[in-house]
A and B are shown apart, each in its own frame.
Chain A
Amino acid sequence: MSTLHTVNKSPFEKSSLDACLAHAGTGANVLLLEDGVYAATTGTAVEQRMKQALDSVKLFVLGPDLMARGLAEDRVIQGITVVDYAGFVDLAAENDKVQAWL
């Protein structure tokens, strides 16, 4: 049973990301979108946490939300895949269900 988890809150403001990573099973897919994309950039206080997460889950970040926030793709932590809306749809379709962490 594969799950796509989505996180749309900033990791510096809400515990949504921590809660998601604590509950996402090995091999799960996690998509960061809206204010969730801030967790995907390098040099932040949560960068180590993200790198650890990459050992057990696949991480994706929504490109248009990065662009809107002035964050270029070269700021994204290595190992996190940037996807567009079509990629978001593919992920949703490939997984058995989508679980949102608000």
Chain B
Amino acid sequence: MSETIKQFLYLNRKAPYGTIYAWESLEVVLIGAAFDQDVSLAFVDDGVYQLTKGQDTAGIGMKNFSPTYAALGDYEVKKIFVERESLEERGLSLDDLQHLVWEDEDDDYAEKDSIKLVSREEMTAIMDDADVVFSF
């Protein structure tokens, strides 16, 4: 077995509910997580709206898939990059987003933060470093 571990980056740039992109991306991430790859998620532009807390879709008759983001830790997705400039342009801060964590088995199941706030410049580097970028 000499399979190369590739760095996969899922780039999310769409708001939830208005279009199907956000949910499709989440589904692909969950399916892809079954394969041992190095997975990162990036939330840029309107994509940052996917992570807002307190979503309640009862009034619009659609499935609320925001709780599913909290399952990403179970799927070994530990790197979720959110672009600071995208948040600021939308009047949002980290406090407006869900608190996403993953459990570190090697550290007595300690919960560790998954979301990392990065600048646009850092995001550029993250995109450059990825072997494969999936865009949604």
A contacts, CB < 8 Å to B: 8-10, 12-13, 34-35, 38, 41-45, 47, 63-65, 67-72, 75, 84-85
Contacts and interface: CB of A to CB of B under 8 A. Distances in A.
B89 A12 contact: yes
Interface stretch (B26-34, B58-66, B100-108, B115-123): B58-66
18 contacts: A10-B15, A12-B90, A13-B15, A35-B46, A38-B90, A42-B91, A43-B91, A44-B90, A67-B58, A68-B17, A68-B56, A68-B59, A68-B64, A69-B15, A69-B16, A69-B52, A70-B52, A85-B59
Interface in B9-59: 14-19, 45-46, 49, 52-59
A68 B46 contact: no
Interface string B53-97: 111111110101010000000000000000000000111100010
B55 A45 contact: no
Contacts of A45: 89-90
A44 B89 contact: yes
Given A38-B90, A44-B90, A65 B60 contact: yes
A9 B64 CA distance: 20
A44 to B, nearest CB: 4
A35 B17 contact: yes
B90 A35 contact: no
Given A41-B91, A44-B91, A70-B66, A10 B18 contact: yes
A68 B57 contact: yes
Contacts of B18: 8-10, 34-35
Question: Shortest 8 CB-CB distances between A and B: which pairs?
Answer: A43-B91, A64-B59, A35-B18, A70-B52, A70-B55, A70-B54, A68-B57, A45-B89
A51 to B, nearest CB: 13
A66 to B, nearest CB: 9
